[in-house]
């Protein structure tokens, strides 16, 4: 298990009540945000029947499985089994919970105690997350490592790229851009990200 | 030498949909061909002719040596019932997970919302489960559940009574309160064809008392229900059904599935099953 | 308005969804597309020689294309859905109504292949489906950057109705939707619209309904 923070999503893309599947170090996780804004990263599996919790739904501060509605509190502890409304769920019914934090408009997850904090990303705004069916080649994209991120320009806009590796040589790029750029320039930068992906995938083909 | 997996009967085609071109399909990982020869249907696999028969609207085949006749559904021959061929649905899941889901009522309010169940009517009361040794089948009886629209013919919410029967490892039969004919049971089945351990084709079939609903509406009602289940079935981990306790946590509402898993293990039916907790 | 309908068809569902959102009254005629193949029967071909669903009949009008049907239902029952606020919005609605045909030809075919065993070049369909989802995702990112939450502008239009079903149902055809955060938020916004109805494979947002009384959330 990797003892550092892996970027898994842009904060903006995980609105309250949203749950999404993410992969960290090969582990499949359900990432979700409660009504009050708290984030959590859990094993993506309901202990009852193995259903993916990333298909579930958030009510208030709890995540429920879509299959039978079993709901889990922030601690991962099952708090309610709708088939037995009067039953206090046993403590053994618990979803494994992982470390998750937000910093610089990015959500980070660590499977083991991280040695360092995520990189500082001052002056940047979240642009978008894209999945590549290819490995990321920063040199081909004209980006260089600086302060924990790959930095450079895309379509003339200063960007920082964070890499989330996926199995089978795929990856997610979480791209942040110059906070002073105009919306039109950010649209160009977004198209620059598309070009970067196309080139990476064509290089692989 | 008997084989608890190969000696079972499996559905391989819908008689009414088997055209002159026949059907190339798969059973337990092996290619199978269903074809017309003269006026008869034959099932072959690897140049070998398999024991086959037509029953309940479907063609049934046995890849091994049948140890018993195909299970009986006496209601299928009862006058006045309409027999509904719902048609195949392919699902990327273990055939055993497909059967187990069919035996489950607690998911109705969340997966079949406002049709087979609705919050706050989520409670599953006590019911009876038994492995009937004389017939070697799993039975669940006295299952009651509140349903907003129990059948196409149901006008409003009712508390429905169910009986579940598992007469073969990849077959489940549901007997259900029949809204237009109190005292009789509607019969709804799930016939599962295991293509591979994690891929199956599901053939729902029904024998109903309902003279009013158009046939297409009956088919669409059942397709709606089953397709609501499909996204669940394709997202359960592990993909194979764990037969040993420990990997999943059942409650009292799951007694039918507990009995089903125990019965599968006792019969040595492990195709699509996971035996040791990962 | 009579709709020749199949419960599992995303193109038929679009019409039912728009009708539910606008309050239009539809008379549904169920077509036994699967397993019966009723869309290839002489009686159905007499209505639509192309043998496709959905089909709408209203008085003397027969429409055999889902974009045309959506346009007609909106014009009759909810003109705001036509998206005529600005020339740009109107053009984007036309763009996405046309784009939806690519979704049917890729994700739609992958889905009937994987689910109902209909013939298709599954690898090509999935590849084209991924490309379609990437284009929707990119367009939504751009609209967000310009301050809009929907495909044609700052409110939902036919553009969204036309592209929503296949975007949700792609996993039915073995095409993952995990990689599209903008699509995720957009489909949630559509599912939260007042009057929204679901179809098999598209679950409703249970989070819109409170936990039943008597329990602490």
- Give per-residue pLDDT as tens, C92-127: 999 999 999 999 999 999 999 999 999 999 999 999
pLDDT in tens, A100-157: 999 999 999 999 999 899 999 999 999 999 999 999 999 999 999 999 999 999 999 9
Q: Cα–Cα–Cα angle for B174, B178, B179, nearest 5°? A: 140
Token output for B180:
């237009």
CB C134 within 8 A of CB C183: no
User: Does C39 fall in a domain?
Assistant: yes
Q: Does C36 touch chain B (CB under 8 A)?
A: yes
Pick the range with the lowest mean pLDDT from A45-54, B103-112, B145-154, C201-210.
Answer: B145-154
Measured between beta carbons, which residues in chain B are less than 8 angstroms from residue A66? Answer: 110-111, 232
In a shared domain, residues A89 and A175: no
Please tell me the pTM assigned to this model: 0.96
Kindly indicate the confidence band of residue C217, based on its pLDDT and cuts at 50, 70 and 90. very low
Does a structural domain hold residue A19? yes
For C185, name the nearest residue in chain A, comparing CA atoms only. Answer: A13
Q: Is B278 on the interface with A (CB under 8 A)?
A: no
Q: φ, ψ for residue A100 (rounded to 5)?
A: -140, 140
Beta strands in C6-141, from DSSP E residues, in sequence order? 27-30, 55-58, 61-63
Give per-residue pLDDT as tens, A44-96. 999 999 999 999 999 999 999 999 999 999 999 999 999 999 999 999 999 99
> Do residues C72 and C89 both lie within one domain?
no
Q: Please list every residue in chain B whose beta carbon sits closer than 8 Å to the beta carbon of residue C203.
A: 111, 113, 228, 231
Choose one of A110, A137, A160: the last residue of a domain.
A110
To the nearest whole angstrom, how far is the Cα of B100 from the nearest Cα of chain A? Answer: 10
B209 within 8 A of B81, measured Cβ to Cβ: yes
Give the structural domain span for C75: 2-80
- The helix (H) or strand (E) run that includes residue B242 is strand B241-242
- For residue A100, the domain's CATH number is 2.102.10.10
Q: Is residue C109 part of a domain?
A: yes
Cα–Cα distance between B53 and B9 in angstroms, integer?
9
Secondary structure letter of residue C108 according to DSSP: I
Residues sharing a CB contact under 8 Å with residue C183, sequence separation 6 or more, in sequence order: C133, C136, C137, C140, C167, C177
Among A residues 151-170, those touching chain C with beta carbons less than 8 Å apart? none
Average of per-residue pLDDT across C7-17: 98
**Chain A residue with Cα closest to B239:** A50
Percent of chain C exceeding pLDDT 90 equals: 96
In which residue are the tokens 């019965």 written? B263
Report which of C125, C118, C114 is spatially closest to residue C37, judged by C-alpha positions.
C118
Query: What's the rounded Cα separation, in Å, for the pair B226 and C201?
Result: 10
Q: How confident is the model at residue C216 (pLDDT cuts 50, 70, 90)?
A: very low
* Helix (H), strand (E), coil (C) string for B46-74: CCEECCEEEECCEEEECCCCCCCCCCCCH
Size (chain A), residues: 205
Domain final residue pick, A75, A110, A145: A110
Mean pLDDT of B168-183: 92
- Assess if residue C171 is contained within a domain: yes
Mean pLDDT of B169-173: 98
What pLDDT sits at residue B38? 86
Domain that holds residue A158: 124-204
| Residue A177's CATH number | 3.30.310
Measure C172 CA to nearest chain A CA, in Å: 14
- C110 plus C168 within the same structural domain: yes
CA distances from B162 to A201, C48, C136, C172 (A): 54, 42, 45, 30
Query: Is A76 found in the same domain as A134?
Result: no
Q: Do C114 and B92 touch (CB under 8 A)?
A: yes
Asked if residue B149 has pLDDT above 90, the reply is no
pLDDT of residue C76: 98
Query: How does the average pLDDT of chain A come out, rounded?
Result: 96
Please check whether residue B232 touches A, CB under 8 A. yes
What pLDDT shows up at residue B178?
87
State residue B136's pLDDT score. Answer: 97
What is the rounded CA–CA span in Å between residue C107 and residue C166? Answer: 6
Mean pLDDT of chain B: 95
| Residue A109 · residue A29 · CB < 8 Å | yes
In chain B the first and final C-alpha atoms are separated, in Å, by: 31
Do A19 and A104 share a domain, yes or no?
yes
Task: Give SS3 for B160.
Answer: strand
pLDDT above 60 for C214:
no
Dihedral in degrees, nearest 10, Cα atoms B241, B246, B249, B250: 70
Substitution target from C13, C28, C31, C34 for chain B, most B beta carbons within 10 A: C34
Per cent of chain B over pLDDT 90 is 90
Percent of chain A with pLDDT over 90: 96
Work out the average pLDDT over B183-209. 97
- Whether residue B41 contacts residue B59, with contact meaning beta carbons closer than 8 Å, is answered with yes
Question: What is the CB neighbour count within 10 angstroms for residue C61?
Answer: 10
Cis check for the bond before A80: say yes or no (omega within 30 of 0). no
Q: Does C211 sit within 8 Å of A80, measured CB to CB?
A: yes
For the cut 60, the answer to whether the pLDDT of residue C172 exceeds it is yes
Instruction: Give bridge partners of residue B32 from the DSSP assignment.
Output: B25
Q: Which of C80, C109, C132 is the last residue of a domain?
A: C80
Residue carrying the six token digits 């992906």: A197
Do the chains contact at B235 and A55, CB–CB below 8 Å?
A: yes
Instruction: Indicate yes or no: CB of B223 within 8 angstroms of CB of C36.
Output: no
Contacts of A58 in chain B (CB under 8 A): none
Same structural domain for residues A98 and A140?
Answer: no
For chain A, first and last CA: distance in Å?
31
Please indicate if any CB of chain A lies within 8 Å of the CB of C213: no
**In the β-sheet with B30-37, what is the strand arrangement from edge to edge?**
B23-27, B30-37, B40-45, B48-49
**Distance (Å) of CA B265 to CA B54, B139, B259, B269, C28:** 29, 16, 10, 6, 47
Closest Cα to residue B60, out of B70, B74, B47, B75? B70
- The answer on A131 and A69 residing in a single domain is no
CA–CA distance, A83 with B199 (Å, rounded to integer): 29
Q: How many CB atoms lie within 10 A of CB B140?
A: 22
| Same domain assignment for residues A11 and A95 | yes
Contact A61 C184 (CB under 8 A): no
Q: Cβ of C20 under 8 Å from any chain B Cβ?
A: no
- Are residue C15 and residue C61 in the same domain, yes or no? yes
pLDDT at B180: 80
- ipTM here: 0.97
Residues of C in contact with B219 (CB under 8 A): 32, 35-36
In a domain, C201, yes or no: no
pLDDT tens, residue by residue, B251-276: 999 999 999 999 999 999 999 999 87
Tell me which chain C residues have a C-beta less than 8 angstroms from the C-beta of A183. 145-147
A51 closest CB neighbour out of B236, B249, B253 = B236
Q: How many domains does chain C have?
A: 2
For residue B250, the chain A residues in CB contact (below 8 A) are 48
Residue C20 domain-assigned? Answer: yes
Verify whether the Cβ–Cβ distance A183 to C141 is below 8 Å.
no
Count contacts between A and C (CB, < 8 Å): 66
Whether B172 contacts B100, CB under 8 Å = no
Per-residue three-class SS string for A75-105: CCEEEECCCCCCCCCCCCCECCEEEEEEECC
Does residue C200 fall inside a structural domain?
no
Tell whether B224 is within 8 A of chain C (Cβ).
Answer: yes
Token readout for A13 is: 């893309």
Instruction: Flag whether pLDDT at B158 surpasses 90.
Output: no
- Judge if the upstream peptide bond of residue B27 is cis by omega within 30 degrees of 0: no
Q: Are A80 and A93 in contact (CB under 8 A)?
A: no
- Which run of H or of E encompasses C126? helix C122-145
Token pair recorded at residue B179 = 């809204």
**Residue B258 CB partners (closer than 8 Å, separation 6+):** B129, B250
If residue C107 lies in a helix (H) or strand (E), which one and from where to where?
Answer: none
Residue C143, in any domain of the structure: yes
- The shortest CB-CB distance from C116 to any of B89, B113, B119 is to B89
Per-position DSSP letters for A173-205, written without gaps between them:
EEEEEETTS-HHHHHHHHHHHHHHHHHHHHHH-
In chain B, what residues touch A83 (CB-CB under 8 Å)?
A: 106, 122-124, 251-253
Spatial separation of the C-alpha atoms in residues B227 and C8, rounded to whole Å: 8
Per the CB < 8 A criterion, the answer to whether C23 and C77 are in contact is yes
pLDDT value of residue B199: 98
Checking if the pLDDT of B189 tops 90, the result is yes
Same-domain pairing of A131 and A192? yes
- Which of residues A76, A110, A144 is at a domain's end? A110
Full DSSP string of C22-65: HT---EEEE---TTT-GGGSHHHHHH-TT--S-EEEETTEEE-S
Q: How many domains does chain A have?
A: 2
Tokens of A131: 């999945």
Interface of B with A in 64-83 (CB under 8 A): none
Query: Which residue in B109, B205, B216, B218 has the most chain C C-beta atoms within 10 A of its own C-beta, making it the best mutation to test that interface?
Result: B216
> CA-CA distance, B204 to C123, in Å (whole number)?
28
Please report the domains of chain B, with CATH numbers, ordered by start residue. Answer: 1-70 (2.20.25.680), 80-274 (3.90.380.10)
What pLDDT score does B205 carry?
98
Nearest CA in chain C to B230: C201
Distance (Å, whole) CA A161 – CA A145 = 9
Q: B241 CA to chain A: closest CA distance, Å?
A: 9
Handedness of CA C184, C190, C195, C197 (dihedral sign): negative
């Amino acid at each position: 298990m990797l003892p550092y923070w892996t970027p898994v999503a842009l904060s903006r893309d995980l609105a309250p009540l949203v749950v999404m599947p993410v992969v960290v170090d090969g582990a499949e996780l359900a990432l979700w945000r409660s009504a009050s804004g708290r984030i959590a990263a859990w094993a993506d599996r309901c202990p009852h029947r193995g259903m993916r919790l990333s298909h579930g739904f958030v009510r208030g501060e709890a995540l429920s499985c879509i299959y039978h509605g079993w709901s889990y509190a922030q601690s991962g502890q099952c708090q309610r089994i709708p088939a037995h409304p009067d039953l206090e769920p046993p403590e053994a019914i618990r979803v494994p919970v992982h470390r998750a934090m937000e910093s610089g408009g990015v959500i980070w997850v660590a499977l083991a105690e991280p040695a360092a904090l995520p990189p500082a990303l001052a002056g940047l705004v979240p642009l978008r997350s894209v999945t590549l069916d290819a490995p990321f080649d920063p040199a081909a994209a004209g980006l260089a490592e600086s302060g924990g991120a790959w930095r450079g320009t895309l379509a003339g806009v200063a960007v920082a790229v964070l890499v989330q590796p996926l199995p089978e040589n795929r990856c997610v790029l979480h791209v942040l851009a110059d906070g002073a750029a105009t919306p039109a320039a950010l649209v160009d930068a977004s198209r620059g990200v598309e070009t970067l992906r196309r080139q990476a995938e064509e290089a692989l083909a | 030498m008997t084989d608890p997996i190969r000696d079972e009967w499996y559905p391989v085609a819908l008689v009414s949909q088997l055209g002159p071109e026949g059907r190339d399909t798969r059973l337990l990982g092996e290619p199978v061909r269903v074809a017309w020869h003269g006026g008869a249907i034959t099932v072959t696999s690897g140049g070998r002719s398999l024991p086959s028969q037509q029953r309940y609207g479907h063609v049934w085949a046995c890849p091994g040596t049948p140890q018993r006749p195909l299970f009986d559904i006496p209601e299928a021959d009862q006058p006045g019932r309409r027999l509904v061929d719902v048609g195949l649905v392919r699902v990327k899941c273990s055939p055993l997970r497909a059967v187990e889901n069919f035996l489950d009522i607690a998911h109705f309010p969340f997966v079949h919302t406002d049709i087979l169940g609705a919050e706050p009517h989520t409670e599953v009361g006590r019911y009876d489960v038994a492995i009937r040794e004389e017939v070697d089948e799993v039975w669940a009886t006295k299952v009651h559940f509140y349903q907003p629209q129990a059948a196409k013919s149901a006008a409003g919410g009712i508390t429905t009574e169910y009986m579940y029967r598992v007469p073969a490892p990849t077959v489940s039969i549901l007997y259900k309160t029949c809204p237009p004919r109190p005292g009789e049971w509607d019969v709804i089945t799930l016939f599962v064809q295991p293509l591979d351990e994690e891929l199956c084709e599901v053939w729902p079939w029904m024998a109903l008392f309902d003279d009013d609903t158009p046939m297409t509406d009956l088919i669409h009602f059942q397709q709606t229900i089953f397709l609501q289940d499909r996204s669940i079935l394709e997202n359960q981990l592990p993909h194979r059904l764990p037969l040993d306790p420990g990997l999943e946590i059942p409650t009292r509402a799951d007694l039918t599935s507990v009995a089903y898993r125990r019965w599968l293990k006792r019969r040595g039916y492990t195709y699509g099953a996971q035996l040791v907790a990962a | 308005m009579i709709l020749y309908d199949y419960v599992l068809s995303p193109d038929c569902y679009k019409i039912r969804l728009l009708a539910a959102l606008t309050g239009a009254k539809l008379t549904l005629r169920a077509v036994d597309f699967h397993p019966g193949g009723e869309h290839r029967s002489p009686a159905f071909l007499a209505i639509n020689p192309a043998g496709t669903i959905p089909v709408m009949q209203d008085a003397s009008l027969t429409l055999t294309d889902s974009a045309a049907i959506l346009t007609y239902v909106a014009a009759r029952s909810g003109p705001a859905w036509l998206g005529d606020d600005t020339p740009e919005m109107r053009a984007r609605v036309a763009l996405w109504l046309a784009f939806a045909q690519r979704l049917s030809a890729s994700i739609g075919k992958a889905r009937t292949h994987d689910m109902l065993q209909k013939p298709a070049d599954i690898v090509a369909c999935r590849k084209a489906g991924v490309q379609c989802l990437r284009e929707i995702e990119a367009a939504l990112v751009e609209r967000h950057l310009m301050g809009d939450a929907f495909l044609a502008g700052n409110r939902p239009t036919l553009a969204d109705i036309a592209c929503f079903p296949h975007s949700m149902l792609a996993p039915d055809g073995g095409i993952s939707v995990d990689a599209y955060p903008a699509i995720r938020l957009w489909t949630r916004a559509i599912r939260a619209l007042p009057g929204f109805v679901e179809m098999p494979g598209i679950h409703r947002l249970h989070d819109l309904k409170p936990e039943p009384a008597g329990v602490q959330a």
